[in-house]
Amino acid sequence: MSTVRSRMWIVIALIILIGSIGFVFLRISLDSLVTQEPDMILYNAKVITMESSPAQAEAIAIHNDSIIAVGSDSEILAMQGANTTLIDMGGKTILPGFIDSHTHDFGDRALTSIDNMNEVVNHLLESGWTSVSELFVDQDRLDELRALDQENALRVHVNAYLPLSWQFDRFGDWYKAYQPGQEFSSKLRIGGVKLFMDGSYVRPIHYFNFSELKSLVQEAHDLGFQVAIHSVLDNSTDVVLDVYESVLNAESNSIFRHRIEHLIYLRDDQIDRIRNLEILPSFQLTWFTSDWKQAGSFPLLEQNSNLVARWRDVVESGAPAIGSSDYPWNQLDIRSVPKILSMAVTRIGINNLTPTDWMLNQKLTIEQALRLLTIDAAYGTFQEDIKGSITVGKLADLVVLSKNPVSIPANELVNLDVLMTMVEGVIEYESPDATFLYANGESYHCEKNILSYSESSFNVIDEEILNCISARKIVV
């Protein structure tokens, strides 16, 4: 065979080879385009994104567990594919799923009338929460959460904070069996560790001195754990700030995100120090509303009212504040997000009394309150890249409210309803008023457990559920 002919064959072989490689690449790029077809488009909505641009939108495209586009109805509807479910939201308001930065929904459910873990999950979903940080997850509670998660029944995100102490008890090294930020699944994660510096405003007692607290915090810090310390009184908070300042050793707390819980009494110099050290102040929007006045049992609060519950001063200082409920402590009847927003903005409690001046001086704007329970709360668990706002690439954790909390008068916030809650692209809760989910616009109320895509859901088939499924826009 001549050299010319063999070279020709080599060239032909190369052309075929390059062509096949090209074809494979073409297939891959087409597939990735195909997989970007939205599973679901929510349109004709008021979307409050909690981003600066766009701050508001009309429609959201969702694929698998994530948001793939946010924009106007015409922009997003143009993405519709053969398998896209369209849901006309009828002008309802969509917000990022709410994040409670400090709760005990699972751990202290004995204080409530809810006695099983599945009911806790449903209670959170119907209240508008898609993520919670549980601030006292000991080994038993962690085992319980992991078992629920393994059954695919943990339908909200949980960040678990492992206690190192309780009052004068010290729990030793048990937490070192876990890694900081360890993820058991997309739903369950180790958030950090928890310590108690003091009691409460009715029980002023210190559980640590500086060196005892420092040694435990230093150890957890060196292992990479985020630390949350309960501190109510101003003189306790002095110790906590001394410890954090020493442990941080001039490094930025944006790397470690150590937090202080409650901060019920705060002096001006402490607010400055918290801001300068970039410590995360973690406070409860449901506390120190007009209901506390009725209680009348805390004269210490009234005498020091200029120092108490300085939520607005803290937020306006520029400190990286995070908001929460500490449910079920102190406010057993309040779980729904709109009611908590109402308390933050009006300082009026559920007994509808008139707040005192010192309470009113610290009321938040609705924008401040929303941030504390969404994007700022996501920062509190290092999850601001996947949660807390409605933007491309974040998880489709969404809540639909009956009206726009930003545009209604503050005194109407308390009447807002949670119509739907979505976690990772799955509608996990709908209210009987979520008529936009049904083809004929009639009201249905599907049993909550059929809305989850877990296999066990489909074992329960009765006529009501079949009717519900057949009426839905979304095929489950």
Nearest residue (CB) to Zn ion, 80 versus 200: 200
By beta-carbon proximity to Zn ion, the closer residue of 161 and 436 is 161
149, 184 Cβ separation under 8 angstroms: yes
Let me know: does 113 contact 121? Beta carbons within 8 Å. no
* Complex with Zn ion: residue 200 or 457, whichever CB lies closer: 200
Structure tokens at 126: 């119907």
Kindly write out the interface string for residues 172-211 of this chain, putting x where it contacts Zn ion by CB under 5 A and - elsewhere: ----------------------------------------
| Minimal distance, residue 108 CB to Zn ion, in Å | 8
Stretch of 73-81, 160-168, 200-208, 320-328 contacting Zn ion, by CB under 5 A: 320-328
Q: How far apart are CA 366 and CA 344, in angstroms?
A: 8
**195, 213 in Cβ contact below 8 A?**
yes
CB closer to Zn ion out of 135 and 232 = 135
Site of tokens 């020493």: 246
DSSP per position, 186-243: SSEEEEEEEEE-EEETTEEEES--HHHHHHHHHHHHHTT--EEEEE-SHHHHHHHHHH
Q: Which of 326, 424, 428, 430 binds Zn ion (CB under 5 A)?
A: 326
> In the numeric block, which tokens belong to residue 342?
């109402």
100 binding Zn ion? (CB under 5 A):
no
CB 357 within 8 A of CB 370: no
Least distance from C-beta 136 to Zn ion, angstroms?
A: 7
134 or 291: whose CB is closer to Zn ion? Answer: 134
Nearer to Zn ion, 326 or 424 (CB): 326
Minimal distance in Å, beta carbon 59 to Zn ion? 38
Q: Least Å distance between CB 106 and Zn ion?
A: 12
Q: How far apart are the first and last CA of the chain?
A: 65
**Strand order across the 66-71 sheet:** 66-71, 59-63, 40-43, 85-88
Q: Which stretch binds Zn ion (CB under 5 A): 117-125, 322-330, 378-386, 397-405?
A: 322-330
| Residues contacting 295, CB < 8 A, separation 6+ | none
Q: How far is the CB of 285 from Zn ion (least distance, A)?
A: 14
Least Å from the CB of residue 160 to Zn ion:
13
Rounded to whole angstroms, how far apart are CA atoms 435 and 99? 25
- Coil, strand or helix: which one is 324? strand
Torsion-angle region of 390 (φ positive above 0: left; ψ -120 to 50: alpha; else: beta): beta
Nearest distance, CB of residue 233 and Zn ion, angstroms? 16
Least distance in Å: CB of 389 to Zn ion?
A: 26
* Closest separation in Å from C-beta 321 to Zn ion: 16
Q: How far is the CB of 198 from Zn ion (least distance, A)?
A: 13
* Nearer Cβ to Zn ion (95/232): 232
* CB of 109 or CB of 472, closer to Zn ion: 109
Judged by CB under 5 A, the stretch of 114-122, 129-137, 167-175, 219-227 that binds Zn ion is: 129-137
Q: Which stretch binds Zn ion (CB under 5 A): 91-99, 116-124, 134-142, 171-179?
A: 134-142
Of 311, 346, 330, 471, nearest in space to 416 by CA: 346
The distance of closest approach from Cβ of residue 226 to Zn ion in the complex, given in angstroms and rounded to an integer, is 16
Q: How many residues bind Zn ion (CB under 5 A)?
A: 2
Which one, 135 or 369, has the nearer CB to Zn ion?
Answer: 135
Report the residue closest to Zn ion, judged by CB.
326
Exposed, middle or buried, 21 (CB in 10 Å: 0-12/13-18/19+)? exposed
Q: Are 471 and 438 in contact (CB under 8 A)?
A: yes
Backbone angles phi, psi at 439, to 5 degrees: -55, -40
Q: Per CB under 5 A, which region of 48-56, 150-158, 236-244, 323-331 contacts Zn ion?
A: 323-331
In the block, residue with structure tokens 């489709």: 396
Q: Which stretch binds Zn ion (CB under 5 A): 9-17, 114-122, 324-332, 339-347?
A: 324-332
And the tokens for 25?
A: 């690449």
Site string for Zn ion, 135-154 (x = CB under 5 A): x-------------------
How many other C-beta atoms are found inside a 10 Å radius of the C-beta of residue 313?
14
- The residue (of 291 and 326) whose beta carbon lies closer to Zn ion is 326
Q: Are 37 and 81 in contact (CB under 8 A)?
A: yes
Assign residue 357 a region: left if phi > 0, alpha if psi is -120 to 50, beta otherwise? alpha
Question: Looking at beta carbons only, is 63 or 141 nearer to Zn ion?
Answer: 141
| Residue with Cβ nearer Zn ion (228 or 396) | 228
CB of 48 to Zn ion, least distance (A): 28
Residues that bind Zn ion (CB under 5 A): 135, 326
